[in-house]
Structure 1
Amino acid sequence: MSLDPIEAELGEGLPSNVRDDDEPNIVNIHPGTKRKWVLKEDAALVACMVDLHNVGTFNTNTRFKVDYLNKLEMMLEKVLPRAMLKAKPNLELKIRTLKRDWAIVYDMLSGKYNNDFG
């Protein structure tokens, strides 16, 4: 594809993240900032949540109290100093994902929405 005369005059071409082929393919200019969790981080998060629950200072009936994410962030910083996990959004979103996944597995194994799967 040839350059527009104005672009040719100004010496501008396509940005480095845009490909010029027969078909217009545009590469994502703003790649997702979604963080990839590794197994070590998952294990540390679950271990810290279990410790936090066992200590009992952040427990209510069936949930954690309001400030538990900040305490969890401090605990994980000691265990994984270079992970740079923040209470919001990293821990909040990961815990939400874990809850969703756990609910799916629990429903599968308890037989709630299936016929004797587990």
Structure 2
Amino acid sequence: MLGFSQSSVSSQNSRGTKRKWVPEEDAALVACMVDLHNVGTFNANTGFKASYLNELEKMLEKVLLYAMLKAKPNLESRIRTLKMDWSIIYDMLNGKNNSGFGWDEHR
């Protein structure tokens, strides 16, 4: 039940308004995506079905009051950014070209 004012979550850039995400919003987004995956209604072989963004928007409206997150462009853009950021870590832990870097669960 978090509320954010528009002035605290956006800034002006050359293309218009760009939203700044706070950690609580990222955590809520990831938690809702996990819930959506576990329900299984929007699962597809390669990820989520096309209409998952609208369902995700509805879920986040209940958790993040006043955040005014829209499926497009807010959620779509943030998910793309998170994928890019986390792909680096995924590649480090599971990738083929990781130069011997890896996780040793015994140490």
What TM-score results when the alignment is normalised by the length of structure 1? Answer: 0.70
What is the CA distance between 1:42 and its match in structure 2?
0.3
Structure 1 gaps of 5+ residues are: 1-27
Larger Rg computed on CA atoms = 1
> Aligned letter for 1:100?
M
> Does residue 88 of structure 1 match 2:88?
no
SS in 2 for 1:33: strand
1:39-78 map, 5 Å: 39-78=23-62
- When residues 116 and 79 of structure 1 are mapped into structure 2, their CA distance, relative to the original with a 3 A threshold, is same
Paired position in structure 1 for 2:21:
37
Equivalent residues, number: 91
Amino-acid identity (%): 75
Higher relative contact order (CA 8 A, sep 6+): 2
CA separation of 1:65 and 1:29: change in aligned 2, threshold 3 A: closer
- Cα deviation 1:66-91 (Å, max 9, x = unaligned): 11000000000000011110000000
Offset at 1:53?
A: 0.5
Which consecutive unaligned segments of at least 5 residues does structure 2 have?
1-11, 103-107
| Two-structure CA RMSD over aligned residues (Å) | 1.9
- What's the CA shift string for 1:10-32, capped at 9, x where partnerless? xxxxxxxxxxxxxxxxxx98575
Indicate how the Cα distance of structure 1 residues 62 and 75 shifts in structure 2: closer, same or farther if over 3 A, else same: same
Distance 1:29 1:101, change over 3 A: closer
Q: CA deviation at 1:107?
A: 0.7
Distance 1:115-1:42 versus aligned 2 partners, 3 A rule: same
How far residue 49 of structure 1 moved from its aligned partner, in angstroms, is: 0.2
